[in-house]
Amino acid sequence: MKIMKRGLILLGWLLAGGSLSAAQPIVIAHRGASGYLPEHTLPAKALAIGFGVDFVEQDVVLTKDGVPIVSHDIEIDTVTDVATRFPGRARSNGRYYAIDFTWDELRQLRVHERVNAQTGEAVYPQRFPVGRSTFALHTLEEELQFVQGVNRSLGRNVGIYLELKAPLWHRAQGRDISVVVLEVLARYGYVTKDDPFFVQCFEFEEVKRLRDELGFRGRLVQLIGRYVEGEIHAQDAVAGRKDNTALLQPEGLAEVARYADGIGPALTALFDVKKGKPVKPSAVVKNAHALGLVVHPYTVRKDAQPKFAGTTERMLELLFREAGVDGVFADHPDVVLDYLQRASR
């Protein structure tokens, strides 16, 4: 039995292209350990690395002077005090955009737990209290130095999992975020599929462009779902809502597989949920695997579980044991690490 298990591990190792860790599901800290500390702050990244995650995520947007910074949104008013620091600098829709401020201005802001843009209330009321302690924005370079620095002092090799936010919108503002980010990544040694990193993006046209025009050679993940960017309303630069879930259909996946190494779907897209029937995996993971694509769904949150799963434990069982995903994004990555450790026994 033991020998057979070893053989299976070896087979997995060979199928994964010789990298032992690639055969194991990976745990990606979604905006850091954002379930415990304000998203994308360096403390949230430190906590995730301390938990033992495989990758930490960075969402990246550009400033007015073209500096890539780590922020989930092109707007910065739901996680910072920009409206009180720089009153009158909102666009006509009342929102404050990173790209309207220089890095020297943005570095003065204080970061807090995410609030709802309309109500000002915490999006996740059980999490870190809004406005407590001191947190700041940081640049992509500062984050790469941070991860590489902690990797050195801990003797670890935690990877980065970077999302290019709204490339189309950035181009409409006169900035090419992909070109800027790829230059920084290359300078820090993130270039090929052997380097510990992924780049992810919702915009399929940009995924294609990264390969066809920009010569990107690293691992690339096509994000799939509903997203808040891409469509540009002429002058006022309000981002629109888009939906690229058609890419989950067999023809869509086949097209994605020509450019990407994996997909990042919403975890709800991986299951057939019918009233009164047991939840079953949909064909997405199987179809993606048949095309050689890894599947890293978003997002496991112990305080915001899809109703069909009931508990976080059941959600993780559905994802890993029944659907067979290759990794997950998690706001509470310690919960996933604990599950995987128990499941491997």
Which residues of the chain form contacts with Ca ion (CB under 5 A)? 59, 163
State the Cα–Cα distance between residues 344 and 247, nearest whole angstrom.
32
In angstroms, what is the minimal distance from the CB of 4 to Ca ion? 39
Note if 233 is an active site residue: no
Query: By C-beta, is 161 or 320 nearer to Ca ion?
Result: 161
Q: Which residues, other chains included, contact 130 with Cβ-Cβ below 8 Å and sequence gap of 6+?
A: 112, 113, 115, 122
Contact status, residue 35 vs residue 332, Cβ threshold 8 Å? yes
In angstroms, what is the minimal distance from the CB of 310 to Ca ion? 26
Query: By C-beta, is 59 or 326 nearer to Ca ion?
Result: 59
Query: By C-beta, is 216 or 279 nearer to Ca ion?
Result: 216
Q: Which amino acid is at 12?
A: G
Note if 170 is an active site residue: no
DSSP SS3 for 221: strand
DSSP SS3 for 92: coil
102 preceded by a cis bond (ω within 30 of 0): no
State the Cα–Cα distance between residues 146 and 32, nearest whole angstrom.
13
In angstroms, what is the minimal distance from the CB of 15 to Ca ion? 28
Active-site position among 40, 72, 112, 170: 72
Q: Which amino acid is at 261?
A: D
In angstroms, what is the minimal distance from the CB of 59 to Ca ion? 4
Query: By C-beta, is 206 or 287 nearer to Ca ion?
Result: 206
State the Cα–Cα distance between residues 267 and 318, nearest whole angstrom.
10
Provide the annotated active-site residues.
30, 72
